[in-house]
A and B are shown apart, each in its own frame.
Chain A
Amino acid sequence: MYKTFLSWRYLVTRRTNLIGIVGIFVAVAALIMILSIMTGFLEQTKAMVRGGLSDMVVLPPTRITQGPYRQDHLHTALDLLREDERIVAASPRLTYYAMLGLGGSRSYIDRKLTSDPTHGGRSVVEVVGVDSAGEWRLASSVLAANAALQGFNVEIPEFQDEQETSGFGPALRRDPHEDRPRATPVPFPEFPFTPPRGYMPDGRPKVACIVGEQLFHSLYLSVGDEITLVTMLPTEADEEGGGGIDAIKRAFVIAGTFRTQDNEMDGGRIYVPRAELADMLNDGRDYTEIVTKLVDFDTDAVALKADLETRLGELNLLDLDGPGGDPYPGQIRTWEDFRASLIGAIQNERVLMAIMLSLILVVAGFTIFSILTMMVTEKRRDIGILAAVGATPNGVLCTFLLIGFWNALLGSLLGCAIGVLGAIKIDTIEQWLSRTLNIQIFNRDVYYFDTIPSRVEPLPVTLIVGGAFLCTLMFAAIPAWRAGRLHPLEALRYE
């Protein structure tokens, strides 16, 4: 009985204990907050970089995509993919890179973009030709409705397009970033390539394109503007053995913007209809990859990837062994493969941060160690008195260990509560601090997040609290053991 009673009394009457409790509390709270922010950051980044990516991409070799039977191969591959129960949808896509030109009254922007090193790369965009089945669906349903009126039953075929296989659909429907008021999402996401309202072409109407919100914003573009995509196309070797490069260009009209939340995509991607891009390139290719959406990426991705590699390999649609002289034998990549280095870097950063911050716990443990060592020295006479009135050596040890226990318990619990609360309210705290100190602590433009991401996960919080508790108890055990070993007479003689 006396152990709990005395340890608590020592705790509340000796203010030095407060330092120990505060030390543990700060360490635990800081660890929880930092790890929660890092976890939130990782998740947000994953979601962000996944934004425009599909779950899994099949990249057939060029001999397939450029060969004479490319359409047959495409349908074989699409059938195979669409029949798999683990795949929700699959659609072909054509990707190419091009330079962006505005021309006309905005040629000064072109000059700036092509000659200013600070804008390096900004004029090069990834042109993605995608399928949009909205019109087909509409036409089919109208047809089916008409047929039904006339007493026929027409089954509407299933269309699978880019909106179902990648982040294209959500990117079209996402609200613009609040710092980019000029961004203008397309009015009908189901029909994304509808020319803008009031489009008055000067000559032949241009096909619509959808521009990344950040690119749109940085180039001061507007809906209805015409932009020109310029790219180069290698030609076959001529008779003398020399190769040629042709420059090709095509103008598009901007129908609206999309927002994936991935800086790289929103600042450097343009969606156009796949057929239009194939027509522009006219190099015998009308798709470069097949994008797929999985039912459950986390569960199926690894097995499905291996499965597809085997099955597409058997159909001769993938040359994974690398023969045939094709420098690009084809491959299957998941969205994580595309962003492996970024995700890996953040994960590493999180682990490193946790390790470094754990040192704070050790420091807090040392604080407890020194406070208790000081207390054992200060309370030597008390230890003698306790022995004289019948306390056992183990009883004395427990009394001092319990002081460490209270420190650990209060510090950890308080740290847990404040840490979790801080992690949840980090945005409010940051805004208050920014206002109070008149500095911008979190630049939302740099990270492209509207709020500081933070996610409190029970397991890390439990591990941190448990770790802090055990660490403190371990540090407290040494002085407590010394107190238990103290000879009662030496203790009594101490003045």
Chain B
Amino acid sequence: MNASDFTATSVAGQSAPTTVREDVLVASAVRKSFAIGDRRIEILHGVDLEVRNSESVALVGSSGAGKSTLLHILGLLDEPTEGSVSIRPAGSDQMVDGFGLDPTERARLRNAEIGFVFQFYHLLAELTAVENVLLPAMIAHGRGRYRKLKRELTARATEILVEFGLADRLAHRPPQLSGGERQRVALARALFNEPRVVIADEPTGNLDTATGERILELLFAEHQKREFSLLIVTHDERLARRCERTLFMEDGMIQADTSLPMPH
């Protein structure tokens, strides 16, 4: 897959939405380099990126282009060598510089505003499906507040899982679930704190086509319903086509920013 594939497709597709939406996630001149011995390897060469409210963005590119590195920096999991990443918290007019915060505050921001969906699900094997979904809420609330809210939170986690078709898997642990079920639990966990941005790293990369398709339908349905901004790293052309925008990355830079037609 390359940039021209997406350009060609976009011509035949629908036009991008015309309404102007506020930026939710902004990366400015993000650079990332690693030192290996005396050599310095630069992965990202000054990436600028804005993700707007309720927007779905696909980040595509060949292996080694720096997609995952960028994704981790945007998710505040990894610090850039240079540049900044700002997030607009829910109900705020101000953008917050994620890396201007101390690690504890940054973790809180991540907990409240960013949801992650990983290719390998990354669920905690010792917890049941409901407990995995509750994990971000457990982290967000102190012991006293969580105890007060526990019944309500558990009911909500159960509701989401039931909605995701896991009614009979609530008390199951990840090793007892299929790949698709695990990814649905992971999706429920990512959405539980109602973040402004959901970052998905190859969410169907570890699933067969049919299961992957069902997960994507669920993801985009939730995206429509909850209106979070969605940033997906993918190799899958069809998945990229479902997003409003596609960013094509090559050699640590965004080479093309293309609005793609929505397939449905």
Q: Which residues of A contact B (CB under 8 A)?
A: 1-2, 4-6, 9-10, 13, 381-382, 384-395, 487-489, 492, 495
Please, what's the 1-or-0 string for B31-45, where 1 marks a CB less than 8 Å from any CB in chain A?
000000000000000
Which of A6, A389, A392 lies in contact with B104, CB distance below 8 A? Answer: A392
Q: Chain B residues with Cβ under 8 A from A489's Cβ?
A: 72, 77-78
Which of B120, B122, B127, B139 lies in contact with A391, CB distance below 8 A? Answer: B139
Q: Chain B residues with Cβ under 8 A from A394's Cβ?
A: 104
* Contact of B126 with A10 in the complex, beta carbons under 8 Å: yes
Q: Chain A residues with Cβ under 8 A from B104's Cβ?
A: 392-394
* Contact of B126 with A2 in the complex, beta carbons under 8 Å: no
* Contact of A390 with B136 in the complex, beta carbons under 8 Å: yes
Please, what's the 1-or-0 string for B206-238, where 1 marks a CB less than 8 Å from any CB in chain A?
000000000000000000000000000000000
* Contact of B72 with A390 in the complex, beta carbons under 8 Å: no
The 5 closest A-B pairs by CB, nearest first: A390-B111, A2-B138, A1-B146, A392-B107, A392-B104
19 pairs, A vs B, C-beta closer than 8 Å: A1-B141, A2-B135, A5-B138, A6-B124, A9-B126, A10-B126, A13-B126, A381-B122, A385-B122, A385-B124, A386-B139, A388-B122, A389-B110, A389-B136, A390-B111, A390-B112, A391-B107, A392-B104, A495-B120
A40 to B66 Cα, complex, angstroms: 72
* Contact of A388 with B110 in the complex, beta carbons under 8 Å: yes
* Contact of B122 with A384 in the complex, beta carbons under 8 Å: yes
Sample of 5 more A-B contacts, CB < 8 Å, known A388-B118, A390-B111: A6-B124, A385-B122, A388-B75, A388-B77, A390-B136
Cβ of B21 within 8 Å of any chain A Cβ, yes or no, is: no
* Contact of B139 with A2 in the complex, beta carbons under 8 Å: yes
Cβ of B189 within 8 Å of any chain A Cβ, yes or no, is: yes
Q: Which of A2, A390, A488, A495 has the most CB of B within 10 A?
A: A390
Cβ of B100 within 8 Å of any chain A Cβ, yes or no, is: no
Q: Chain B residues with Cβ under 8 A from A385's Cβ?
A: 122-124
**Which of chain B's residues has its CB closest to A385's CB?**
B122
Cβ of B91 within 8 Å of any chain A Cβ, yes or no, is: no
A384 to B107 Cα, complex, angstroms: 12
**Which of chain B's residues has its CB closest to A487's CB?**
B78
* Contact of A390 with B140 in the complex, beta carbons under 8 Å: yes
Q: Which residues of B contact A (CB under 8 A)?
A: 72, 75, 77-78, 103-104, 107-108, 110-112, 116, 118, 120, 122-127, 135-136, 138-143, 146-147, 189, 193
Which of B78, B116, B142, B146 lies in contact with A389, CB distance below 8 A? Answer: B116
**Which of chain A's residues has its CB closest to B69's CB?**
A489
A387 to B108 Cα, complex, angstroms: 10
Q: Chain B residues with Cβ under 8 A from A13's Cβ?
A: 126
* Contact of A390 with B143 in the complex, beta carbons under 8 Å: no
Q: What's the nearest-Cβ distance from chain B to residue A378, in Å? A: 10
Q: Chain B residues with Cβ under 8 A from A487's Cβ?
A: 78
Which of A382, A389, A488, A492 lies in contact with B111, CB distance below 8 A? Answer: A389
* Contact of B77 with A389 in the complex, beta carbons under 8 Å: no
**Which of chain B's residues has its CB closest to A11's CB?**
B126
Which of B72, B127, B141, B143 lies in contact with A9, CB distance below 8 A? Answer: B127
Q: What's the nearest-Cβ distance from chain A to residue B227, in Å? A: 21
A28 to B116 Cα, complex, angstroms: 45
* Contact of B77 with A387 in the complex, beta carbons under 8 Å: yes
A389 to B122 Cα, complex, angstroms: 11
Q: Assess A390 versus B122: contact at CB under 8 Å? Given A1-B138, A1-B141.
A: no
**Which of chain B's residues has its CB closest to A394's CB?**
B104
A173 to B231 Cα, complex, angstroms: 94
Q: Chain A residues with Cβ under 8 A from B141's Cβ?
A: 1
Q: Chain A residues with Cβ under 8 A from B122's Cβ?
A: 381, 384-385, 388, 492
Q: Assess A392 versus B103: contact at CB under 8 Å? Given A10-B126, A385-B124, A489-B78.
A: yes
**Which of chain A's residues has its CB closest to B189's CB?**
A389
Q: Chain A residues with Cβ under 8 A from B123's Cβ?
A: 385
Q: What's the nearest-Cβ distance from chain A to residue B73, in Å? A: 10
* Contact of A382 with B107 in the complex, beta carbons under 8 Å: no
Q: Chain B residues with Cβ under 8 A from A384's Cβ?
A: 122
**Which of chain B's residues has its CB closest to A4's CB?**
B143
A83 to B78 Cα, complex, angstroms: 88
Q: Chain A residues with Cβ under 8 A from B126's Cβ?
A: 6, 9-10, 13
* Contact of A387 with B78 in the complex, beta carbons under 8 Å: no
Q: What's the nearest-Cβ distance from chain A to residue B130, in Å? A: 13
Q: Chain B residues with Cβ under 8 A from A10's Cβ?
A: 126
* Contact of B138 with A387 in the complex, beta carbons under 8 Å: no
**Which of chain A's residues has its CB closest to B135's CB?**
A389
Q: What's the nearest-Cβ distance from chain B to residue A171, in Å? A: 64
* Contact of A395 with B139 in the complex, beta carbons under 8 Å: yes
A489 to B78 Cα, complex, angstroms: 7
* Contact of B124 with A387 in the complex, beta carbons under 8 Å: no
Q: Assess A388 versus B116: contact at CB under 8 Å? Given A4-B143, A489-B72.
A: yes
Q: What's the nearest-Cβ distance from chain B to residue A231, in Å? A: 83
A391 to B77 Cα, complex, angstroms: 11
* Contact of B139 with A390 in the complex, beta carbons under 8 Å: yes
